[in-house]
Structure 1
Amino acid sequence: MKKFFLSLLCLGLITMSCSNDDNDPVVEEEEIENPEEEDIPVVIELENEINDFIWSAMNSWYLWQDEVVELSDDRFASQNDYYEFLNGFSTPVSLFRTLESPKDRFSAIVDDYDILFNSFSGVFKTNGLEFVLTRPPEGGDKVVGVVRYVINNSDASTKNINRGDIFYAVNGTELFAQTDVDGNITNSNLDLLNPDTFTLNFADLTAEGVVPNGFNIELVKEEITENPILISKVLEVNGTKIGYLMYNSFTSNFDEQLNTAFSDLKSAGVTELVLDLRYNLGGSVQSATRLSSMITGQFDGELFAREQWNSKWQSVFGFENTFVSDIDGAPLNSLGLNSVYIIATDDSASASELVINSLTPYIDVVHIGDVTRGKNEFSVTLVDNTTQQAIFAEGESPSPIPFIVLGGQFTTVEDSNPNHKYALQPLVGTNVNADGFGEFTNGLQPDFLLAESLGNLGQLGEQGEPLLDLAIEKITGVTGKSLLIDTPENLKIHTISSSNRLKPFREVSNYDIKK
């Protein structure tokens, strides 16, 4: 209760000081009370609606939602508590990172979903140079880039650059990267490779190590669409027709072209297949299912992989994906094989690993190369759209499907929030094969270990390329000359990073949800 003395007290003091009559009555202080005021509750306003979208989407869909304290359903006692929490983050990215589980290595956030959707279609900005970053023979913190291949119709394809070429610097500055015991980069200047235009400084591999050779080539990035089918051909070795397919991304837009490539292999009468996924970081799960069905064909309708979502969505989306026999009604050109030779390395991940793991219960899968990346989760694309409703064979979903944009009917952002274009690509589930196995976060171990090496890369798809030679040896017993070369340990390529990993969202695996 507030009491107001001040004005009346001042009046009394003035009266007393102005009067000389000691008999004047003393003016007593009088307390005048205001009507009691009611406490008005404080209402916290949300400062950034994007943060609300991020928390709500992650709370609903995230694979580890029940393990992240900040995503708990009872985390906040009131809307004020919730808004106060969200307002504590200066950027959407900082909130997103706070909500991630320590187990998460691959979830992503983007401020423009068009970039994300383009990447899933094989559309991205690149100069066309595909490379791996590794240590030079002399070791230390220095980094050299080794050209893997050049994308057709790119800027690099117009320059004199070939597989195996080595660069050591960008714009005259030598590359370096410091790493921890697990190989994670802790400090580097690899961001020199980020700008749209830069000049690479090349070197030769000599007995003394990597020596600059004076060749400098400027490269310019532009938006192009990469066909993931780099090479498809038939090799005949000792009377055996071997199909060779180098497939660099599971891009569903190219599934029909993939089916055509298998038609050509089938018409050629191949009896063996070498599937080269060494630089394939993944992509569409649907494409992985279709590819595996093209390799086989005799398992139509049988279990390919079983989905495991979080507890909120398992009953809705926990389907069993099966081998298929068509693409939207067009028959698959399946080879009916009982074995397949798959080249995979530490730059093979996600859908690539899914193919290896899900084929293993059915046919003989011979893994040649190196330990894979170890990504056994899949993700979905989430945009700020609370109006979408999924329709299933059994009827409508139990509730609106918030924030989701996927395959089938989920292909539009028409009703999404017009105030921003943020999108999330969080991990939401895992797949297990028909044997119930799906835990390979440490990567899939090769049956025959062989790393690529400086000075002995060979040409992709040609005999004389060591990993292909090893596959051919296991098929025919013929040992290629490249396998007779003794490679010193300091010439073996151990990936620090790569053009693959530097591309936006190349490491996410987009799930095509079933209706």
Structure 2
Amino acid sequence: MAISSTNKFALGLINCSLLVLLSGCGGGSTMTDNNNSNGDGDTGNSINWTQGVFQPSSNFDQQCQALNEKHWLRSWSNETYLWYDEIVDRDPALTPAVSDYFNLLKTEQITDSGAKKDNFHSSLPTAQWEAQSQSGVTFGYGFKVKLISPSAPRQGVISYTEPNSPASNANLARGFEILEVDGVDFVNASTQAEVDTLNAGLFPTQTGKNTTFLFKDLNTDETREVTLTSQTISSKPVTNVKTLADGSVGYFQFNSHNAVAEKPLYDAFNNLKASNVTDLIIDIRYNGGGFLQMASQVAYMIAGAENTNGKIFERTIFNDQHPTFNPVTGQRLEPVMFTDEFLGFADNPALIPGTPLPTLNLERVYLLTTASTCSASEAIMNGLRGADVEVIQIGAGTCGKPYGFYATDNCDITYFSIQFTGENHKGFGEYADGFAPQNTTDNARLPVRVEGCAVADDFSHQLGDPEEAMLKAALNYRASGSCPVASSIASKQGFAPARFSDTPAVQDTRAATLAEQNKILPSQ
């Protein structure tokens, strides 16, 4: 059963750094906020605030003075935040910046494993969010970096490159380890100034930035100095579509559930169906998420009508103030079913919406995963498991994002605040510590164990190479049902695990990158 793709709303989970909480204030006040620096202040409106008393958020919607914006955020969070009753209610007038106030509107509780309950609260300019979610556009050089150890002694390696990008044109590829960025020692840099240079070089926020890198090829130990210029990068979400094992096994790399992925996914499944594959391996090790409806399409194309007919892909559950109606759309809550038709996510869809999707009619699927496998990608796993389709997981544990939200614009800023959790056909959705292969040895988290093998990410081979450790393990498991010795560390063939360090961390905090880890759902 398909759902209209009109008026798309965004739901997702985005990592962000936790800001220090400001002290709360009881009682009530009437206050004028005259801080107008950097466009983040108010023009002088006076608004009453009484702790625990909330006006409808519609009273402040698109009123773009700082105090009005903060009151909109306060009321909107109280109405829609999944854990609204765990937010400390603070007087908006006492926090000068809108962005700082938004970062206070979240729970500070922790999970059973000791992780932060809400690690996904964020915002970004609306124009940037729309560019990212609709077309996969980011600033960069065209390579993705896997930070194995973000603090000294650091380890970072190129995980893959985008076609026709500065990186691929410079013959960089998966398996190039970072040694220096603009003359700064990537491995051992210890000062904040040095790490600022590393972050600025690795993760540019605009086009035209020239950065000089020193890389080492892990396979040859040869070093190369390369200067790259950042540009607008359009990611290719589906690559390496092929058959393996004498043509009986289909494989493809799926990097993002963004709008432009729908047609390549349609083509990939059509090609594999024409090849009469009897098994499928989908490489989602770096897929942070995207359209939830697209995840249901992928699941349908794997399993087919007979295995999914009448079954729920994901049921959304909002806070206890909204048991029946969606607080964002106002419509009666209806589950997302397995979607059997082309929806036309892109502005100019390549196929007519309503075109039937191809199916492989499989009762099992092999998924290659890492900690970068998040959100909508995890929903594929959970949705198929709920429909009794066998999911075999090869790789490392996923990130753990069973929650979602509607990306909501106010005054040209899009806000991401957890609003619901999702459950499959069997009513299961508790995987805040992710899914992990059954023989995973890391006991620091409490993941849901899944049939399969814990295997390190092997940077000595290109993605799609049958000798790459994770893909090789999937093929061997299919043939013999046995796993190699468990190794869940992201590695060449055994990079050291991330170590504790008090040195500053290298990390990608670009809004567009954070926006990749989300779910997006058409209105119902």
**TM-score of the two chains, using structure 2 as the length reference:** 0.71
State which of 112, 115, 118 in structure 1 corresponds to 2:128: 115
**How many residues are matched?**
408
Partner of 1:360: 385
Q: Distance in 1 between matches of 2:232 and 2:323?
A: 38
Deviations 1:293-319 (A, max 9, x none): 010112133111111112334411332
Partner of 1:191: 199
Amino acid at match of 2:364: S
Deviations 1:339-387 (A, max 9, x none): 1000011111111111111111321110000011111111211112xxx
Q: Distance in 1 between matches of 2:460 and 2:483?
A: 13
State which of 397, 400, 417 in structure 2 corresponds to 1:371: 397
Work out the percentage of aligned pairs sharing the same amino acid: 26
* 8 A contact 1:469–1:482 mirrored in 2: no
Partner of 1:69: 88
SS in 1 for 2:225: strand
Partner of 2:513: 504
Partner of 1:162: 173
Q: Distance in 2 between matches of 1:493 and 1:437?
A: 32
**Matched ranges for 1:231-242 at <5 A:** 231-235=240-244, 237=245, 239=246, 241-242=248-249
State which of 94, 98, 112 in structure 2 corresponds to 1:88: 94
* 8 A contact 1:349–1:375 mirrored in 2: yes
Partner of 1:58: 77
Kindly indicate whether residue 431 of structure 2 is the aligned counterpart of residue 440 of structure 1. Answer: yes
* 8 A contact 2:203–2:508 mirrored in 1: no
State which of 457, 460, 468 in structure 2 corresponds to 1:457: 460
SS in 1 for 2:239: strand
**Matched ranges for 1:319-330 at <5 A:** 319-327=334-342, 328-330=353-355
Deviations 1:146-167 (A, max 9, x none): 1111101221121021211111
* 8 A contact 1:377–1:428 mirrored in 2: yes
SS in 2 for 1:59: helix
Question: What is the CA-CA distance between 1:232 and the residue it aligns to?
Answer: 1.2
Question: What is the CA-CA distance between 1:442 and the residue it aligns to?
Answer: 1.2
Q: Distance in 2 between matches of 1:248 and 1:53?
A: 35
Partner of 2:118: 104
Question: What is the CA-CA distance between 1:473 and the residue it aligns to?
Answer: 0.6
Q: Distance in 2 between matches of 1:101 and 1:42?
A: 26
| Structure 1 range deviating more: 472-481 or 192-201 | 472-481
Structure 1 residues 443, 228: closer, same or farther in 2, change over 3 A? same
Question: What is the CA-CA distance between 1:52 and the residue it aligns to?
Answer: 2.6
Q: Distance in 2 between matches of 1:205 and 1:65?
A: 48
| Structure 1 range deviating more: 249-258 or 45-54 | 45-54
State which of 205, 209, 214 in structure 2 corresponds to 1:201: 214
Kindly indicate whether residue 424 of structure 2 is the aligned counterpart of residue 424 of structure 1. Answer: no
Kindly indicate whether residue 219 of structure 2 is the aligned counterpart of residue 219 of structure 1. Answer: no
Amino acid at match of 1:383: D
Question: What is the CA-CA distance between 1:205 and the residue it aligns to?
Answer: 5.1
State which of 265, 268, 283 in structure 2 corresponds to 1:258: 265
Q: Distance in 2 between matches of 1:300 and 1:127?
A: 44
Deviations 1:238-271 (A, max 9, x none): x451100110011133212211210111011111
State which of 346, 350, 353 in structure 1 corresponds to 2:375: 350
* 8 A contact 2:129–2:512 mirrored in 1: no
Q: Distance in 2 between matches of 1:333 and 1:63?
A: 36
Kindly indicate whether residue 472 of structure 2 is the aligned counterpart of residue 469 of structure 1. Answer: yes
Partner of 2:311: 302
Question: What is the CA-CA distance between 1:494 and the residue it aligns to?
Answer: 5.3
Question: What is the CA-CA distance between 1:289 and the residue it aligns to?
Answer: 0.6
State which of 331, 340, 343 in structure 1 corresponds to 2:365: 340
Deviations 1:19-56 (A, max 9, x none): xxxxxxxxxxxxxxxxxxxxxx9764346132233223
SS in 1 for 2:519: coil
Partner of 1:316: 325
Partner of 2:160: 149
Amino acid at match of 2:380: V
- Structure scoring higher RCO (CA < 8 A, sep ≥ 6) equals 2
* 8 A contact 1:293–1:300 mirrored in 2: no
Structure 1 residues 434, 90: closer, same or farther in 2, change over 3 A? same
* 8 A contact 1:197–1:218 mirrored in 2: yes
* 8 A contact 1:273–1:340 mirrored in 2: yes
Q: Distance in 1 between matches of 2:185 and 2:357?
A: 49
* 8 A contact 1:281–1:500 mirrored in 2: no
Amino acid at match of 2:360: L
Q: Distance in 1 between matches of 2:250 and 2:231?
A: 33
**TM-score of the two chains, using structure 1 as the length reference:** 0.72
Q: Distance in 2 between matches of 1:69 and 1:504?
A: 29
Q: Distance in 1 between matches of 2:311 and 2:189?
A: 47
* 8 A contact 2:211–2:229 mirrored in 1: yes
Structure 1 residues 430, 129: closer, same or farther in 2, change over 3 A? same
Q: Distance in 2 between matches of 1:197 and 1:314?
A: 52
SS in 1 for 2:71: helix
SS in 1 for 2:101: helix
Q: Distance in 1 between matches of 2:355 and 2:71?
A: 43
Question: What is the CA-CA distance between 1:439 and the residue it aligns to?
Answer: 1.1
Structure 1 residues 177, 304: closer, same or farther in 2, change over 3 A? farther
* 8 A contact 1:229–1:247 mirrored in 2: yes
> Where in structure 2 are there 5+ consecutive unaligned residues?
1-28, 33-44, 47-64, 109-116, 327-332, 343-352, 438-451, 500-504
* 8 A contact 2:315–2:424 mirrored in 1: yes
Q: Distance in 2 between matches of 1:331 and 1:448?
A: 34
Structure 1 residues 421, 218: closer, same or farther in 2, change over 3 A? same
